[in-house]
Amino acid sequence: MTGARTQTGESVAAAIRRALLTPEPRAKVFAAREVARNWRLGRLAWRFDVAMPDRPAWPDRPELLAPNRMPKRGKAGSERGRIALWHALAHIEFVAIDLALDMAGRFGAAAGRALVDDFLSVAADEAMHFALLERKLRRLGSHYGALPAHGGLWQAAHETRHDVRARLAVVPMVLEARGLDVTPATRDRVRAQGDEDGARILQRILDDEIRHVRFGTRHFVQGCEKAGENPPECWKTLVKRHFRGALKPPFNDSARSAAGLSREFYAAVASGANARLPHNT
């Protein structure tokens, strides 16, 4: 069993917390990948002896702005527009490292080893995605932190910090699932601009995100079944309560289905009957 070969040494919780509190982007990439590797190799003890921070450590740059204060990206295909696109994607993946780490560290003790296995592997994937995107930015003559970034991406984690099913419902099954919807069109647009390297990066991210959504959906369904609740109905209730945003079609049904996220979950949204789910203010 993964992570079961040692009960001494550093705890998995302490290793995760240290990665979360690493602010410098490249150092966070290395820290996340090291935690995942050490856990996989059985070098971390199954102990949750430290609490996760309320917010991870982040660098001074990029400046984090509210969505309505974010500058326009610029014309698609222009140098400014290309840099803005890759910077926005890099920021999403950077925050995703911490979202996956926090999932494992905050909920692993109660949820069990399988969740820790899955989400530490997700953290390693997100770290790799960020590294690819940051390298892409540098090839374009820029770098992560050169532009402002969306300041609300951690809000979903804060909203769901006390409920693993709410976290699973919102982060993998809404936010990452949305990536399944929009990434193919972005990939195709990038390829049409002659950027085959960028298209390959986006395809790699898409392939990995299908697996990430599958992990989230599987753990969510198992949690609902254990509690004797209907998974799609429970998902709708939790998303209404905790997700501050809109769920808008069109949806990539084939990718969502490959991830185990059937239309039974979002059929009302897909039909347009409930395109904006209400939320608490």
pLDDT in tens, 113-156: 999 999 999 999 999 999 999 999 999 999 999 999 988 889 88
pLDDT class for 5, splitting at 50, 70, 90? very low
189 lies in the same domain as 231: yes
* Overall average pLDDT of the 12-28 stretch: 98
Total number of domains constituting the chain: 2
* Overall average pLDDT of the 207-224 stretch: 97
CA–CA dist 106, 125 (Å, integer): 19
67 lies in the same domain as 149: yes
143 lies in the same domain as 41: yes
CA–CA dist 260, 276 (Å, integer): 23
148 lies in the same domain as 240: no
Look at residues 101, 122, 153 and tell me which one is the last residue of a structural domain. Answer: 153
* Overall average pLDDT of the 49-64 stretch: 94
CA–CA dist 245, 105 (Å, integer): 26
Domain holding 53, by residue range, is 1-153
265 lies in the same domain as 196: yes
266-273: long-range contacts (C-beta < 8 A, 24 or more apart)? Answer: 268/236
CA-wise closest residue to 133 among 81, 214, 201, 66: 201
pLDDT class for 74, splitting at 50, 70, 90? low
Look at residues 121, 153, 185 and tell me which one is the last residue of a structural domain. Answer: 153
pLDDT class for 73, splitting at 50, 70, 90? low
140 lies in the same domain as 249: no
100-116 tens-digit pLDDT: 999 999 999 999 999 99
131-138: long-range contacts (C-beta < 8 A, 24 or more apart)? Answer: 131/26, 131/29, 132/201, 132/204, 132/205, 133/86, 133/89, 133/90, 133/93, 133/201, 134/25, 134/26, 134/90, 136/86, 136/90, 136/197, 136/198, 136/201, 137/83, 137/86, 137/87, 137/90
Judge contact between 268 and 248, C-beta under 8 A. Answer: no
Tell me the whole-structure pTM to 2 decimals. Answer: 0.90
